[in-house]
């Protein structure tokens, strides 16, 4: 690892997004998703699963108040993964053990949104929620409503399953974002008090445990970056180095022998620095890998970085869907084995692709890597955007590449593959995660070091960086064209990523290509125009992916396309796309030449050439599917 090549992302308050494509998404989040989620957190959405999240904070606040006065407070069991009216006392904690995190993710999204667009009414609402959150904090800094309400004596007793360190991580991320957006320290102070308690509780001569669901690692690094308190970085490093050590902490604490060495689910099967393949629960995985990259960079840890590089390569080359989805199996919401990428059973959780983008940004801060930036783009324009409906009011949790509504309804193995987006989930990790990523999209565009400014994602914006003022006018999503106006403060290098999907590109200035980036010397105000060829293409998948043998997908620029029943009728498996097809653009859609096989209801018959008719196949961007009611969808089509 060469520290002189380290770079940093540009802070959100230095970037103003102007890109029409992305502005429409950030505005949807601001005007629809954030207000909707506010109502959902307060359990005011008819027909949606109850969240209980705000209710829990109100209960915890009362408990904290009573404890301060020295009153006796009741104890309820803290022994379940999810609590509702059927299994919990009305005054006890309700919802999933990680319910607090939804409030924090909402606050984080609000913070980013306020950086983009000040909104005093929204800020007031957030301030009130922050007051409520802080009023629930115990005097020693502890802040997790499950244990505050139900049993203070059992805090940190089940790190493997009960998500206190996970909720802490989201609290810290929200707190840093809110401080950076508004300058207000109240939530940051609360997060630091909880972080101090965690640093005093975990470590070499203390509890040698680590969270079952990672995130505390990267969150502690964020707190370190903002406070300079080395304990935070040390504890993040401790959590990473302790994970996977034998005997397993989770076994030791439960007084059991390791019978079945199956800790892959939370990436604790071996020490992270010895991990070279992405395994286990996909969201946990990418959150851990993000923390590993953060710590590797700040501690100059080559071993840890080398593990990150191998894991990133494994994901990109063997475990990522063409849509940027990761975690192909619903069994444990997890990474599966290499080249196991089934289309209809795909899990591909929205949060996992979001987490991959977090990981990618951290890797790009260590060194530029066009393959990683391109994979982040793949995730962003396809699986992440597909997570949200066109009206911002419903969401996908899983993002399969092939859906048959009847199968989703009748086959329990495919129940996760919803044929239509859901309003809200009891386990609502994805919608607020989407809101926070889309509102902070500017953070993923650039990184810079003392002499080079890198453009990783082409999103129209105005930005003030340490080295330059930059203005990007982008119609990249539409036609692959970008105009970059750069005014350097000194002589600098500009490096722009060449997208992996373009066969050719043109730039109107001399450049040198290195590792997938075009490098330019910039010494005065310069306008650079780049055009990346954006012809629709047939894309072949490795023939080691069994489901895709004999099929192709269609891409245009960063977008993957799919066929929907609404345009092509039922039984999409009968379609065959012509290998010589010319594509015609029809608005956002593509029209391809193809054939449709005649339906044959006899289950078995002697083989004969199929009867086919010529058809035009209409394809739409994958992220737009499922906006016209329940219907079949398929990304891969026979060729």
> With binding defined as CB under 5 A, does residue 379 bind Zn ion?
no
CB 427 within 8 A of CB 96: yes
- The residue number with the shortest CB distance to Zn ion is 351
**Chain mean position to CA 573:** 31
Distance of alpha carbon 392 from alpha carbon 43, whole angstroms: 18
Binding-residue pattern over the window 555 to 594 for Zn ion, x denoting contact by CB under 5 A:
----------------------------------------
CB 579 within 8 A of CB 539: no
For residue 553, give the H/E element and its range. Answer: strand 551-556
Reading the block at residue 178, the tokens are 């809110």
Residue with tokens 């970056």: 225
CB 188 within 8 A of CB 226: yes
Query: Contact region for Zn ion (CB under 5 A) — 51-59, 248-256, 350-358, 414-422?
Result: 350-358
Residue with tokens 């203005």: 471
Minimum separation from the CB atom of position 280 to Zn ion (A): 15
Q: Which own/partner contact pairs does 534-537 have at CB distance under 8 Å and 24+ positions apart?
A: 534/479, 534/480, 534/502, 535/503, 535/583, 536/561, 536/583, 536/585, 536/590, 536/592, 537/501
- Which C-beta is closer to Zn ion: that of 170 or that of 497? 170
> With binding defined as CB under 5 A, does residue 388 bind Zn ion?
no
Query: Of these residues, 108, 123, 333, 448, which one is catalytic?
Result: 333
For residue 194, give the H/E element and its range. Answer: helix 186-201
Query: Contact region for Zn ion (CB under 5 A) — 245-253, 255-263, 342-350, 490-498?
Result: 342-350
Minimum separation from the CB atom of position 291 to Zn ion (A): 18
- Which C-beta is closer to Zn ion: that of 64 or that of 435? 435
Distance of alpha carbon 460 from alpha carbon 463, whole angstroms: 10
Query: Contact region for Zn ion (CB under 5 A) — 347-355, 371-379, 534-542, 607-615?
Result: 347-355
Pairing type for strands 492-497 and 452-455 reads parallel
Outline where 31-139 has alpha helix (H).
34-41, 53-68, 100-116, 120-135
- Which C-beta is closer to Zn ion: that of 281 or that of 497? 281
Minimum separation from the CB atom of position 570 to Zn ion (A): 30
Peptide bond into 247 cis (omega under 30): yes
> With binding defined as CB under 5 A, does residue 351 bind Zn ion?
yes
Helix (H, G, I), strand (E, B) or coil at 426: coil
- Which C-beta is closer to Zn ion: that of 176 or that of 429? 429
- Which C-beta is closer to Zn ion: that of 155 or that of 435? 435
Minimum separation from the CB atom of position 246 to Zn ion (A): 31
Minimum separation from the CB atom of position 325 to Zn ion (A): 12
Minimum separation from the CB atom of position 346 to Zn ion (A): 14
Q: Any catalytic annotation for residue 333?
A: yes
- Which C-beta is closer to Zn ion: that of 321 or that of 532? 321
Minimum separation from the CB atom of position 397 to Zn ion (A): 6
Reading the block at residue 130, the tokens are 């922050």
Outline where 472-512 has alpha helix (H).
476-479
Minimum separation from the CB atom of position 351 to Zn ion (A): 3
Q: How far is CA 286 from CA 100, 173, 303, 324, in A?
A: 21, 16, 18, 13
- Which C-beta is closer to Zn ion: that of 98 or that of 248? 98
CB 187 within 8 A of CB 257: no
Minimum separation from the CB atom of position 330 to Zn ion (A): 13
Minimum separation from the CB atom of position 532 to Zn ion (A): 31
Angle between helices 120-135 and 164-182 (to 10 degrees): 140
> With binding defined as CB under 5 A, does residue 429 bind Zn ion?
yes
**How many beta carbons lie within 10 A of that of residue 52, not counting itself?**
23
> With binding defined as CB under 5 A, does residue 437 bind Zn ion?
no
Compute how many residues bind Zn ion; rule: CB under 5 A: 4
Residue partners of 165: CB distance under 8 A and separation at least 6: 159, 198, 210, 211, 213, 215, 216, 239
> With binding defined as CB under 5 A, does residue 348 bind Zn ion?
no
Residue partners of 73: CB distance under 8 A and separation at least 6: 63, 66, 67
Query: Contact region for Zn ion (CB under 5 A) — 20-28, 76-84, 426-434, 499-507?
Result: 426-434
Closest CA to 525 of 457, 470, 452: 470
Query: Of these residues, 134, 192, 429, 562, which one is catalytic?
Result: 429
Binding-residue pattern over the window 43 to 72 for Zn ion, x denoting contact by CB under 5 A:
------------------------------
- Which C-beta is closer to Zn ion: that of 98 or that of 622? 98
> With binding defined as CB under 5 A, does residue 430 bind Zn ion?
yes
- Which C-beta is closer to Zn ion: that of 385 or that of 484? 385
Query: Contact region for Zn ion (CB under 5 A) — 11-19, 36-44, 85-93, 428-436?
Result: 428-436
- Which C-beta is closer to Zn ion: that of 116 or that of 439? 439
Reading the block at residue 124, the tokens are 């007031």
Cα R_g (the chain), whole angstroms = 25
Q: Cite the active site residues.
A: 333, 429
The site for Zn ion (CB under 5 A) is made up of: 349, 351, 429-430
């Amino acid at each position: 690892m060469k520290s002189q090549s380290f770079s940093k992302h540009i802070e959100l308050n230095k970037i103003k997004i102007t890109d029409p494509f992305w502005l429409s998404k950030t505005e949807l989040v601001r005007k629809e998703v954030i207000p909707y989620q506010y109502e959902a957190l307060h359990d005011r959405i008819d027909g949606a699963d109850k969240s209980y999240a705000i209710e829990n904070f109100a209960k915890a606040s009362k408990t904290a108040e009573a404890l301060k006065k020295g009153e006796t407070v009741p104890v309820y069991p803290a022994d379940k993964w999810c609590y509702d009216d059927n299994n919990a006392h009305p005054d006890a904690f309700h919802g999933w053990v990680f319910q607090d995190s939804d409030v924090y993710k909402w606050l984080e999204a609000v913070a980013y949104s306020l950086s983009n667009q000040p909104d005093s009414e929204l800020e007031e609402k957030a301030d009130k929620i922050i007051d409520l959150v802080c009023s629930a904090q115990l005097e020693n800094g502890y802040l997790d409503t499950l244990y505050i309400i139900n049993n203070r004596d059992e805090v940190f007793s089940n790190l493997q399953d009960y998500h206190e360190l996970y909720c802490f991580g989201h609290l810290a991320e929200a707190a840093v974002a809110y401080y950076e957006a508004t300058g207000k320290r109240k939530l940051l102070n609360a997060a630091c008090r909880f972080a101090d308690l965690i640093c005093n509780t975990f470590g070499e001569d203390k509890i040698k445990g680590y969270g079952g669901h990672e995130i505390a690692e990267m969150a502690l690094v964020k707190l370190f970056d903002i406070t300079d308190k080395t304990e935070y970085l040390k504890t993040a490093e401790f959590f990473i180095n302790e994970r996977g050590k034998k005997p397993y902490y989770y076994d030791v604490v439960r007084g059991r022998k390791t019978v079945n060495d199956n800790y892959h689910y939370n990436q604790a099967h071996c020490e992270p620095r010895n991990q070279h393949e992405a395994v286990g629960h996909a969201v946990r995985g990418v959150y851990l890998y993000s923390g590993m990259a953060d710590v590797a960079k700040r501690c100059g840890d080559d071993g840890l970085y080398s593990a990150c590089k191998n894991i990133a390569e494994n994901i990109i080359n063997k475990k990522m869907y063409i849509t940027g989805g990761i975690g192909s199996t619903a069994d444990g919401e997890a990474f599966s084995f290499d080249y196991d990428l089934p289309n209809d059973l795909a899990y591909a959780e929205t949060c996992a692709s979001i987490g991959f983008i977090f990981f990618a940004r951290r890797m790009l801060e260590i060194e530029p890597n066009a393959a990683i930036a391109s994979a982040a783009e793949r995730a962003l324009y396809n699986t992440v955007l597909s997570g949200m409906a066109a009206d911002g009011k419903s969401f996908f949790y899983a993002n399969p590449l092939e859906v048959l509504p009847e199968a989703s309804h009748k086959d329990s193995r495919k129940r996760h593959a919803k044929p239509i987006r859901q309003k809200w989930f009891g386990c609502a990790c994805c919608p607020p995660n989407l809101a926070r990523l889309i509102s902070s999209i500017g953070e993923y565009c650039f990184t810079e070091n003392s002499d080079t400014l890198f453009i990783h994602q082409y999103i129209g914006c105005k930005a003030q960086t340490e080295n330059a003022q930059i203005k990007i006018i982008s119609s990249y999503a539409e036609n692959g064209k970008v105009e970059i106006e750069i005014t350097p403060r000194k002589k600098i290098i500009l490096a722009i990523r060449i997208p992996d999907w373009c066969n050719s590109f043109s730039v109107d200035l001399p450049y040198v290509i290195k590792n997938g980036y075009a490098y330019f010397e910039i010494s005065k105000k310069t306008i650079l125009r780049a055009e990346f060829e954006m012809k629709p293409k047939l894309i072949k998948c490795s023939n080691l992916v069994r489901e895709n043998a004999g099929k192709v997908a269609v891409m245009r620029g960063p977008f993957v396309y799919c066929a929907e029943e609404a345009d092509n009728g039922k039984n999409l498996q009968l379609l065959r796309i012509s290998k010589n097809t010319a594509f015609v653009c029809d608005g956002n859609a593509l029209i391809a030449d193809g054939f449709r096989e005649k339906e044959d209801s006899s289950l078995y018959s002697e083989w004969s050439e199929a009867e086919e008719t010529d058809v035009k196949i209409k394809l739409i961007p994958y992220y737009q599917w499922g906006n016209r009611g329940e219907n079949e969808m398929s990304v891969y089509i026979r060729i």
